[in-house]
Amino acid sequence: MELEGKRVTLGVTGGIAAYKAAELVRLLVGQGASVRVAMTEAATHFVTPTTFQALSGNPVFTDLWDTGVANGMAHIGLSREADVLLVAPASADYLAKAAHGVASDLLTTLTLARDCPLLVAPSMNRQMWSHPATQRNVATLIGDGVGVLGPAQGGQACGETGDGRMLEPAEIVEELVAHFQPKPLKGRKVLMTAGPTFEAIDPVRGIANLSSGKMGFAVARAAREAGAEVTLVCGPVSLPTPRGVTRVDVTAALEMYAQVMRRATAQDVFIGVAAVADYRPQTASDRKIKKDAAPRLVIELVENPDILAEVAALPRPPLCVGFAAETGNLAEYAEKKRRAKKIPLIVGNLVQDGFGGDTNALILFDDGGQHTLTPAPKLALARQLIARVAALLESTHAPH
């Protein structure tokens, strides 16, 4: 229920993606939002107002001259009663009118008369999207502070493929949740690691840590929600990339080290969440090692670079945050690790409390002592962690 109590006015314009707006309303209501729908006349040719009324539980508005509104000013009421105006799908025609202040129907008049933020999810043919006029209109809207969600790339109703697809309803909901989060990291750059690393023994075997990557991906999403430009260097995991996050896939610790070090000096924050293998085989076989090759297999290991420590030792390091996953003596080991690496904040957790699951229990260790976070879903904990990181950053680091 991440949108509990939020009031959303949803504008629906004409286009085949209007059918997705019905699912969008269902998801918004399921997240606790109150939804009121305003449709253009063209939109009613694709989905009926009755559909949206049934899904939202509220009257649907289609006419600027609706006499059912007490004062005859639906375009005013729908704005004043909303926390956000979300237009999905947003056609090329609507974007053009919104960019130039045209108020020719209920939705465009509402757009001009609003006193709440405007988010648009474009949906149109690929050539309409790429047309210079549309791109100028989108640039104007962005310059006016309008949030543009998407569009995505893929197959289109016309049979062509390219940019212009409306984001899927679940993606739009994620963007709306992010919109309502505080933005203490706006303008900041955050570099992160997540997941395990895999150190090859031969083409089919290797050494790895048991990490799902879920905590790291939650922190990446929370950092992006907080307004940061986020780069996530992750080991072999199959999790979907959080929206708006730049993902760099690696396999082994040396690859992760190289990708981090080439970016670290330009960052404001580095958060090392990855469960990096401490050791790797000194040599890896280029062929599968057969069981009958020898009665006993000996693998010589060498130590991997300590990525967090090396970033912290840079001449002008970003604010560094580490993670310590332990099976016992958490406070002792986490604080020892924090001091050894000379970092301001480390996040400790017991393996049995969170590895692989969707919830976790975290303790933050910094110069002020230890701060226990109530066990919660990983995204909720990630948002608390990012709030703490933002506070530390504000007090100690100027922007790069």
* Distance in Å from the first CA to the final CA of the chain: 36
Q: Which amino acid is at 284?
A: A
- Enumerate the H helices of the chain as residue ranges: 18-30, 49-56, 74-80, 92-100, 106-113, 126-130, 132-143, 169-180, 214-225, 253-261, 307-312, 330-341, 351-354, 378-396
CA 210, 213, 216 angle in degrees (round to 5)?
130
* Contact by Cβ (8 Å): 26, 55: yes
When pLDDT is cut at 50, 70 and 90, the band that residue 81 belongs to is: confident
Helix (H, G, I), strand (E, B) or coil at 372: strand
Check residue 71 and give its pLDDT: 56
Check residue 4 and give its pLDDT: 95
**What's this model's pTM, rounded to 2 decimal places?**
0.89
Across 102-131, average pLDDT = 94
Check residue 396 and give its pLDDT: 80
- Interval 306-362: pLDDT, tens: 999 999 999 999 999 999 988 899 999 999 999 999 999 999 988 877 677 889 999
Q: Per residue, what are the HEC states of 278-297? A: CEEECCCCCCCCCHHHCCCC
Q: Which long-range contacts (CB under 8 A, 24 or more apart) does 325-329 make?
A: 325/275, 325/349, 325/350, 325/351, 325/355, 326/350, 326/351, 327/351, 327/352
Share of the chain above pLDDT 70, in %: 96
Kindly give, in sequence order, each residue whose CB lies less than 8 Å from that of residue 327, ignoring residues fewer than 6 positions away.
350, 351, 352
The active-site residue, picked from 116, 158, 234, 320, is 158
Check residue 63 and give its pLDDT: 86
Kindly give, in sequence order, each residue whose CB lies less than 8 Å from that of residue 100, ignoring residues fewer than 6 positions away.
137, 140
Give the residues across from 214 on adjacent strands. none
Check residue 270 and give its pLDDT: 98
* Contact by Cβ (8 Å): 210, 356: yes
* Contact by Cβ (8 Å): 160, 128: no
Cα 93 to Cα 394: distance, rounded to the nearest angstrom? 43
Helices 214-225, 378-396: axis angle to 10 degrees equals 50
Segment among 11-25, 221-235, 343-357 with least mean pLDDT: 343-357
When pLDDT is cut at 50, 70 and 90, the band that residue 388 belongs to is: very high
The pLDDT of residue 74 is above 70:
no
Kindly compute the dihedral angle of the four CA atoms of residues 33, 34, 38, 44, in this order, to the nearest 10 degrees: 80
* Contact by Cβ (8 Å): 314, 400: no
Check residue 397 and give its pLDDT: 72
Domains along the chain with CATH numbers = 7-180 (3.40.50.1950), 189-396 (3.40.50.10300)
Active site residue 158: yes
